[in-house]
Chain A
Amino acid sequence: MAAMSVQAPRSSKTESYVDNKRKDDIRMSNIKSARAVADAVRTSLGPKGMDKMISTASGEVIITNDGATILNKMEVLQPAAKMLVELSKSQDVVAGDGTTTVVVIAGAFLKQCQTLLRSGIHPTVASDSLHKTSMKAVDILTAMAVPVELSDRDSLVKSASTSLNSKVVSQYSTLLAPLAVDSVLSVVDPVKPDLVDLRDVKIVKKLGGTVDDTELVKGLVFDKKVSHTAGGPTRIENAKIAVIQFQISPPKTDIEQSIVVSDYTQMDRILKEERNYILSMIKKIKATGCNVLLIQKSILRDAVTDLSLHYLAKAKILVIKDVERDDIEFITKTLNCLPIANIEHFRAEKLGFADMVEEVSLGDGKIVKVTGIKDMGRTTTVLVRGSNQLVLDEAERSLHDALCVVRCLVNKKFLIAGGGAPEIELSRQLGAWSKVLHGMESFCVKSFAEALEVVPYTLAENAGLNPITIVTELRNRHAQGEINAGINVRKGQITNILEENVVQPLLVSTSAITLAAECVRMILKIDDIVTVR
């Protein structure tokens, strides 16, 4: 990438003199390289934005529209450019969506800064004005926002589909958006209605089928086969499920041990003992009525051996092995059971109950579904399907964004129009506000207000519309008081965007503006790059 090669002059080890000329150069080169990053992702903004194909160093190919992912994979070196990458990541953490928007806005701010600095305005003045602008912008946005109730499922679905519309999977937004809303709402704890832990929503990807086949599973899905080498059951009704953290295999001590065999009769005895040992374990398990075993992965010894599998099969116990330790918490929460770490503690009250545990063939692989769980915890599993790995990955990322959007709404129950409407309105109101201010500040705020027009401009441009006509018309409509007029990309004209159901959470817009402003201010304040150990 040619733009990436904009490297600041490296200060040498024996650097002894720093003149002001160089500071300007550094600031300018920082701004330039940061803008280069912003330009790189610009075309992926909006519902008609394009995707990027990234081929990573390991030869893997990723096709995505997600700003955070693109930037993450770009491996930029220039420090200021890196800061933009960080910026996009932060937006991902805070809001989960709008990762491209935030970078595009930062790029536009930087462009204005370049002009401001060239006309001799001190960087700190520009930086302070930018701070004020962002504060004011948040006020304006909040005033524009429409409150939303969590019970209002339609609005939630609308905002999730707005987020999904710009992705590869946009044609499935009618399916995925309600799915995202349902899964988030089902994990909201009524005791703490403002908090959503997205870790309670598990996304399982499985190749095969199309995105259409994506479904929400009330229960658990394991991307694993049932261990049935010995012909064990693959479908169990009225399952009693145990999550065990020990192994059903011959004993192994932590201390190094060896069994000394002195003659062949002993060999038989040892084999028999091993069999008895395992058998007694399985008997204990069977005694509690357990018929599904989830076995945690162990690095020290085999979770199950052929022998134990054989006995388990005979006892009609379904076995899923190699469950990761990290997943145990999620599983136990879902099944409402306790993990069992020792055979001695294997008691009936630690089991979980489900109507059905079955192995299902999907595409080229098999998965295990646990459904109808009794007293299920507040978790959800989404099974994502896709015709190839790339679509699958992108679908997962898009779904994650949609989940985040819904989460934002749970955190901050306000909606705002999409389609460039808030940005144009901001630009207009900030422009008016700048006339009230005095001196340099007014000048700076005015240019930052103009910078915000970049969002509708880019939206229109990416949709193949004439950006100038569109933006000027938008301005006109907003000046006449239609604060919800935005670009309707599908129709290619300007309409009341709220009526078109293009909405997004307030948090996404506000955090995009504040984070972009914070990042640009930081870049402005830098006057030197020092190479250190």
Chain B
Amino acid sequence: MAVEKLFKDEATEEKGERARMASFVGAMAIADLVKTTLGPKGMDKILQSTGRGHSVTVTNDGATILKSLHIDNPAAKVLIEISKVQDDEVGDGTTSVVVLAGELLREAEKLVGSKIHPMTIIAGYRMASDCARRALLDRVKDNKDDAEKFRLDLMRIAMTTLSSKILSQDKEHFAKLAVDAVMRLKGSTNLESIQIIKKAGGSLKDSFLDEGFILDKKIGLGQPKRIENANILVANTAMDTDKVKIYGARVRVDSMAKVAQIEGAEKEKMREKVQKIIGHGINCFVNRQLIYNFPEELFADAGILAIEHADFDGIERLGLVTGGEIASTFDNPESVKLGHCKLIEEIMIGEDKLIHFSGVEMGEACTIVLRGASFHVLDEAERSLHDALCVLSQTVNDSRVLLGGGWPEMVMAKAVDELARKTPGKKSHAIEAFSRALIAIPTTIADNAGLDSAELVAQLRAEHHKEDSNAGIDVITGAVGDMSELGISEAFKVKQAVLLSATEAAEMILRVDEIITCAPRRREDRM
């Protein structure tokens, strides 16, 4: 007997084959959507927002595209999730991971069609991914001990990452910027001390790396525009009069003179506060909140550079890089940690005046000033540069390096193929399928470049049949080339993350045999 009604109204249930089909189709659609952005000749997408303003984003970054999509399909959401995780963990390979997962599912769909149990497929995939990882490990290079070579590796990785982005034309310039910035970090993966400032105007080539910190604010009136050996007090405090915070509090007086007295007292309080601040022995004061005219004048009189209304982010960073703490009370000058820097001066970038702090306490800090034709270009440049910085900072810690250009995929595919031949039973079909999915990545790169992918991949496979081949796809000439000669490298960590998370995601989606959509929560009737 069938159960009459198990679920609430509007809750739906899809079972078995149908459920699986639904997730396959959803996941593959997502993979197909971002597929064209893969590789150095990948295309960009326009993201047009339906919200107010119809703002437009042009991007090549898989994570950005996926993040902003409207998605209903649960399986597709899983793919978006892995792309996000990839973005957070390693910063690059966000498209690759989705494409690989999509391909794995496409292969799985065929296997399921030929009546192989999903669990068998999963087992096969697991073996394959394990084997692929080991194959990569065998071939990694580690130049950690040789500083010169290591730097070259970093440059190569940065260039490979950037070559698929908008910065590709000036990749050498930006790779150098990124490597320099990351090398300053001395091994920490905290990208916060690298500040990226975007200024429209000029061209991408005019972007530069600047040691120190740049604050996009103005110096108060009548105050020094240049300070050497600055002691900086970073604060977040209201510079207007202290008010009684109780609601409805008011003073009753009986004469105008008393009002004037109160006003005088308020001014006096402000002056006291300013005196306290000055008492810290500083010559630069940065406040997150407004500094009003009156205190500004007092600061100007004392020869102190006061910067008002710095944004929260700016304040925190400034505190971080100058080694100061953000203060909000000024009664104990000895307990407040001041920030220091060698020089503060006003500089001009494009049409805007900015304040430049150089010789800051935290030597790692630096600022990358991006210039570009329009905001679209700048935003995309920032995303690309961020990817490169992420990968580099990861590589500094895990210095294992692989070749790029579809080389790792071919190496893995070869190893997995061999494993398939050795493995008895149905699982071998799944393992074989895994290798096909891996090859799909170089195929896509070739396709996107408008090359004959079938021909190229076949050539590549033949090349890789030889031991220790360095062959990969050289997109520029459109032929198979030696990747180590061309200087195309990728970080091992990125590839490993792509491999493992794609397999996991595919496995997760494969396991699904029922989708239950809960009834949407009803809004309460407002009537």
Contact = CB atoms under 8 A, between A and B. Distances in A.
Interface of A: 13-18, 23, 30, 77, 79-80, 82-83, 86-87, 89-90, 93-94, 122-125, 128, 131, 195, 197-198, 245-246, 250-262, 266, 269-270, 273-274, 277, 296, 328-329, 332, 338-342, 344-345, 511, 514-515, 518-519, 522, 525-533
B25 interface: yes
A251 B263 contact: yes
A245 B25 CA distance: 67
A122 B33 contact: no
B70 A522 contact: no
A198 B351 CA distance: 8
Contacts of A341: 292-294, 296-298
Interface of B is mostly: mixed
Interface stretch (B246-254, B356-364, B456-464, B507-515): B246-254
A251 B251 CA distance: 14
A338 B300 contact: yes
Nearest to A91: B373
B70 A532 contact: yes
A256 B252 CA distance: 9
16 contacts: A23-B36, A94-B201, A94-B350, A253-B251, A255-B241, A255-B250, A255-B251, A258-B252, A258-B253, A260-B254, A273-B256, A519-B373, A525-B44, A527-B36, A530-B45, A531-B50
Contact of B294 (A16, A80, A124, A342): A342
B424 interface: no
Interface in B341-371: 348, 350-351, 353
A533 B260 contact: no
Contacts of A253: 241, 251, 259, 262-263, 266
B267 interface: yes
A277 B257 contact: yes
Given A90-B200, A253-B259, A342-B267, A519 B47 contact: no
Contacts of B201: 90, 93-94
Given A15-B29, A341-B296, A529 B241 contact: no
Contacts of A90: 200-201, 373-374
Given A83-B374, A533-B70, 8 more contacts: A90-B374, A123-B43, A250-B259, A255-B262, A256-B250, A258-B253, A338-B297, A527-B44
Nearest to B301: A345
B390 interface: no
Contacts, number: 218
A338 B25 contact: no
Given A254-B240, A339-B297, A345-B297, A259 B374 contact: no
B166 A254 contact: no
Contacts of A195: 348
Q: How big is chain B's contact interface, by range?
A: 35 or more
Contacts of B26: 16
A340 B298 CA distance: 10
Given A13-B70, A13-B72, A122-B450, A87 B374 contact: yes
Nearest to A76: B54
A195 B50 CA distance: 41
Q: Please give me the 10 A-B residue pairs with the lowest Cβ-Cβ distance, nearest first.
A: A122-B450, A273-B256, A527-B43, A532-B68, A245-B293, A256-B250, A341-B297, A86-B374, A341-B293, A16-B29
B353 A93 contact: no
Contacts of B169: 128, 131
Nearest to B253: A259
B256 A250 contact: yes
A344 to B, nearest CB: 8
Contacts of A329: 221
Contacts of B252: 257-260
B375 interface: yes
B51 interface: yes
B50 A533 contact: yes
A526 B43 contact: yes
A18 B35 CA distance: 10
A123 B50 CA distance: 28
B376 interface: yes
Contact of B250 (A80, A258, A261, A514): A258
Contacts of A342: 267, 294, 297
Given A131-B169, A277-B257, A522-B166, A79 B250 contact: no
B249 A256 contact: yes
Given A13-B70, A341-B294, A259 B373 contact: no
A254 B376 contact: no
A528 B33 contact: yes
A44 B90 CA distance: 50
B101 to A, nearest CB: 17
A45 B248 CA distance: 63
A198 B188 CA distance: 42
A121 B350 CA distance: 37
Given A122-B450, A198-B351, A257-B250, A80 B256 contact: no
Nearest to B71: A13
Nearest to A340: B297
A501 to B, nearest CB: 28
Interface string B19-60: 000000110010011001000010111111111001010101
A139 B29 CA distance: 46
Interface in B222-253: 222, 240-241, 243-244, 248-253
A525 B41 CA distance: 9
Given A253-B266, A526-B58, A87 B44 contact: no
A131 to B, nearest CB: 5
B36 A87 contact: no
Contacts of A533: 49-51, 68, 70
B506 interface: no
B430 interface: no
Contacts of A93: 200-201, 350-351
Nearest to A124: B41
A339 B169 CA distance: 50
B215 interface: no
B203 interface: yes
A63 B199 CA distance: 30
Contact of A260 (B244, B253, B298): B253
B51 to A, nearest CB: 6
Given A260-B253, A339-B221, A341-B296, A532 B449 contact: no
A340 to B, nearest CB: 7
B114 interface: no
A531 B70 contact: yes
A400 to B, nearest CB: 12
